[in-house]
Amino acid sequence: LIALLLPAVQAAREAARRMQCSNQLKQLGIASHNYHDVHNSLPSGRPGSTSNNTVTAADGQEWGRWSAFVAMLPFVEQNALYDTMVPLLGPMKKAGTVVNANAKHPWDGSETGAGANGVVWRAARTKVTAVVCPSDSQLLVRTSADHGPTSYAVSGGDYTPLTDDYQYGRSRGAFVPCRWLGLASLSDGTSNTLLFSEHVSSRLDQKIRGVVGNIAASSLPTASGACETTFIAKTCLDSATNGEYTVGISSGYGDRWSDAANYFTWLNTILPPNSPTCRTSGDPNPMINPPTSFHNGGVNITLGDASVRFISDTINYGTLTASGPLCVSSGASNFGVWGALGSRNGGEATMP
């Protein structure tokens, strides 16, 4: 009897967790719209220090490297946390914001006292339930010494930038580094453009959900702007067999909800849900980071109209070969229906 009942109980519990996760993504969608109502734009994917693409090499590296989730804190009932952090951070808004000379970065733990570094460090370690999926079991064993983790990420569309590219405004998605896009910029339609999805936090095993596979540098772009000319997605897809990596791995994905580096709070729509996540070792780190979850068969996503859908692992993502397809900087996506869902202005009308 136990053998018959236990799977049913577990399935019922997962169904409840998936529903709660879906509701949280819905709330993120509503929060992004409320942010838009106040600021006439979505949050920047990574603020930097200016209101446009003219950013110096130092900007966005540290002081401006705060995620869109930080900007959205007041809209997910985290006003107190926002008010604690933002006076000590770099700019969080566009137009007329000046860099705070004492601004702190997301990983600073050099001062644990009452100073600004300590204040920001402790605040960034706060567990924000709005960005945690209950099916992400690894989050249940986090300790107080960890940075605040996240199960969710913002979409950069069908583009894989270098780590440092995020300060220069390269993105095909709804969120762009150093730019604040209005919903009108989603010219493919808000109901056709991805905003948020899931990516389970890191765990210490070879399974593709959570950790990142380290692949050969020649398989991904190694110079700024090279994404459009040198890019092989199939190498990443082939880096795992039967759900486990056959290459070396790195942990840490999703360890900082406050950090706007692509290793922590970004995803792209190149490989389908629950495919391998890959990067080259060393900086800069170009990445392929598809959504992942512990829901059976797919992931929850939030679209630009704040609706939530469940996307299957089997969604069409084009045809991958050992020589491409290549990234594109404009026009229709090379990655099928899934890529089209990520691009904000590719001109594609296809929906899953």
pLDDT digits (tens, 9 = 90+) for 9-42: 556 566 777 788 999 999 999 999 999 999 888 9
> In the sheet that 194-198 helps form, which strands lie side by side, from edge to edge?
266-267, 152-155, 194-198, 298-303, 308-312
CA 165, CA 326: separation in Å to the nearest integer? 17
CA 111, CA 120: separation in Å to the nearest integer? 10
The two three-digit tokens of residue 65, written as one number: 């490297």
Task: Give the position of tokens 């236990």.
Answer: 6
Closest CA to 25 of 69, 65, 67, 66: 69
Is the per-residue pLDDT at 300 higher than 50?
yes
Contact 312/297 with Cβ under 8 angstroms?
A: yes
What's the whole-number mean pLDDT along residues 161-187?
74
The two three-digit tokens of residue 149, written as one number: 């983790």
What's the whole-number mean pLDDT along residues 151-167?
73
Least-confidence region, from 18-27, 157-166, 167-176, 322-331: 157-166
Which residues lie across from 189 on neighbouring strands? Answer: none
Closest CA to 351 of 307, 320, 289: 307
Going from the C-alpha of 149 to that of each of 29, 85, 337, the distances in angstroms are 19, 17, 30
Q: What 3-state class would DSSP assign to 240?
A: strand
Q: pTM value?
A: 0.85
Provide the mean pLDDT of the chain: 77
Tens digits of residue pLDDT in 120-130 = 777 888 888 88
Which residues lie across from 349 on neighbouring strands? Answer: none
- Band of pLDDT at residue 178, cut at 50, 70 and 90: confident
Amino acid 78: pLDDT:
92
Q: Which residues, in sequence order, are CB contacts of 137 under 8 Å at separation 6+?
A: 294
CA 194, CA 288: separation in Å to the nearest integer? 16
Contact 148/128 with Cβ under 8 angstroms?
A: yes
Long-range CB pairs of 295-298 (<8 Å, 24+ gap) are 295/14, 295/18, 295/21, 295/135, 295/198, 296/14, 298/273, 298/274
Neighbours of 228 (CB within 10 A): 14
> In the sheet that 287-288 helps form, which strands lie side by side, from edge to edge?
249-250, 212-215, 278-280, 287-288
- Band of pLDDT at residue 95, cut at 50, 70 and 90: very low
The two three-digit tokens of residue 64, written as one number: 């401006």
Going from the C-alpha of 171 to that of each of 48, 156, 159, 206, the distances in angstroms are 15, 5, 6, 29
